[in-house]
Amino acid sequence: MQLTERSRLRVTFKTAGIPSWIAKGISLEGLFGDFLAKTSGTTKGLGAGIVHHAQPDKGILGQSGTIGESYVLGVGVGYSIKYRKTDQVCVVFNGEGATSRELFHGAMNWSGLYDLPVIYVIENNEYAVSTHTSKTHSTKEDGNIADWAEGYGIPNKVIDGNDVLEVYETASKAVERARNGGGPTVIEAKTFRHRGHFIGDPGDYMDQDKLEYYKKEKDPIKNFRKLLLKEKIKTESELEKLEKEIKKEV
């Protein structure tokens, strides 16, 4: 895969999820083509029918087939950006489960040592499949995995992953810092999974009271919708029109 200048803003790796790819311009047709292992997908049928996507011209370099390997790939991209002296930034997304692998620490070490323009986003929803993070991570009482970055001299920030504006503002500062030669950042976005790990997983091992709380009070889409209406940035009719267009496209 060739990383082109068109992918100026940032290049991304993920091990799960697609919102950031959609935001960067990947088409729904391409995504669904990958889900169905069709040649219309971004990987031309090579994605094996799971969440493997890649579109280098949009800065989406795909993901590894093994959880956590994208940390190492991110280091390589960071080296590439620094070697070519571009103002690109690499963003690596993983869940908290992937950080329990030694690959995370290796990536932190090299990124910190060489001030690589890489942002590591930890999407902490507390469960790696069905195992709670308290049983997989040795952390301080606050349970923040981002604290580990301090040992490598890397700035880190723990945020509410359900607060759209906080996520945007934190990411924007990290991108600007990396672009200006400030090196890597670790961002831990705290959230909670809204269902089991996969369709058919009842999720009965999850804290049910906390689950209901997050569904009712912390849904980022519903809360941001309320904010847009409250601040009169959008009207109800405008949002309804947008929602209908999105449903039609899907």
| Active centre residues (catalytic) | 193, 197, 205
The amino acid at 47: G
User: Tokens 């200006």, residue?
Assistant: 180
The tokens describing 128, both together, are 């790696």
Nearest 5°: the CA angle 98, 103, 108 is: 100
Q: Which amino acid is at 6?
A: R
* CA–CA dist 65, 68 (Å, integer): 9
As a whole number of angstroms, the distance between CA 146 and CA 85 comes to 28
Number of Cβ within 10 Å of residue 151's Cβ equals 11
Q: What gap in Å lies between CA 75 and CA 64, rounded to an integer?
A: 13
CA–CA distance, 164 with 168 (Å, rounded to integer): 6
**What is d(CA 127, CA 135) in angstroms, rounded to the nearest whole number?**
10
